[in-house]
Amino acid sequence: MSIRFQVEHHDRVGSTNDLAREHALAGAPEGLVVQADQQEAGRGRRGRAWASPQGNLYCSLLLRPDCVPAVAATLSFATVIALGDVLTDLLPDSTIQHKWPNDLLIGGKKVSGILLEAGGAAGNKLEWLVIGLGVNIVSHPDQALYPVTDLRAEGLADIPPADLLTLFLERFALHYAAWKEGGFSALLPAWKSRAVGLGRNIQVRLENHVLEGCFIDLDADGTLMLKLPEGNVRRVTAGDVFLATSSAD
């Protein structure tokens, strides 16, 4: 059976992920979605802040997949594919791409971010998973790490966040069903079809250093497989991907 979503809307929260986690701990069922017009303490990956002014989409989905955390983490790919489907429909003339691990780009610029958080006893199946999704609709932050955009800047007439959320949830339900049926491998063709840098030389910026090599594939849990110049393959579980400029690819 397809998942049914129930959206709980707030004008302003600290972080929709925090509120969804509180609901999860209080026993809320799978399918609860917390959406807010603004966040006062929006969080991004790797401890970064996520600027959250009015007009953009901020939401967190509560899921209770029956699996261990590493498997559940591959649902970030279902999330980015679902949003990619929606934006491909809304902006048919734009280049929509997935950037590992879970960014969505329009014309090479980041338009959204995903933050997964999960709970449960260590080593066991998780009890809850919160998928936080932010989409820049009318504004985006200025920052130097990589180019960023929003849907308005890409030529889309302003879409209400709630409408974008509805479209996203419809697509997510399909990919979630495929994932439950066939696992991560059921998502891979769709993810790869819009992947940035697959088969090319890329840079992966880690916490303290930078790796450069050929992005040859993803493995069964979504880890990036990077073939280094020395010929060995390095598995990368976290980092920021950039197309390499110095390489002959």
Residue ranges binding ligand BTN (CB under 6 A): 15-17, 39, 42-45, 48, 50, 58-60, 113-115, 132-134
Q: Calculate ∠ Cα 200-191-159, nearest 5°.
A: 115
β-bridge mates for residue 61, sequence order = 33, 131
- Cβ-based nearer residue to ligand BTN, 96 or 114: 114
Residue 155: DSSP 8-state: T
Spell 53-81 as b/e; 16+ CB within 10 A means b: eebbbbbbbbbbbebebebbbbbbbbbbb
Name the minimum Å distance from CB 39 to ligand BTN.
Answer: 6
- Cβ-based nearer residue to ligand BTN, 45 or 125: 45
Residue 46: DSSP 8-state: G
Count CA atoms within 13 Å of residue 151 on its CB side.
26
- Cβ-based nearer residue to ligand BTN, 21 or 194: 21
Would strands 57-63 and 128-135 be described as parallel, antiparallel, or unpaired?
antiparallel
Single out the residue of 175, 165, 138, 173 nearest to residue 153, CA to CA.
138
- Cβ-based nearer residue to ligand BTN, 53 or 183: 53
- Cβ-based nearer residue to ligand BTN, 115 or 126: 115
- Cβ-based nearer residue to ligand BTN, 15 or 223: 15
**Cβ-contact 197, 246 below 8 angstroms:** no
Residue 49: DSSP 8-state: B
Name the minimum Å distance from CB 16 to ligand BTN.
Answer: 4
The Cα 92–Cα 110 span in angstroms is: 17
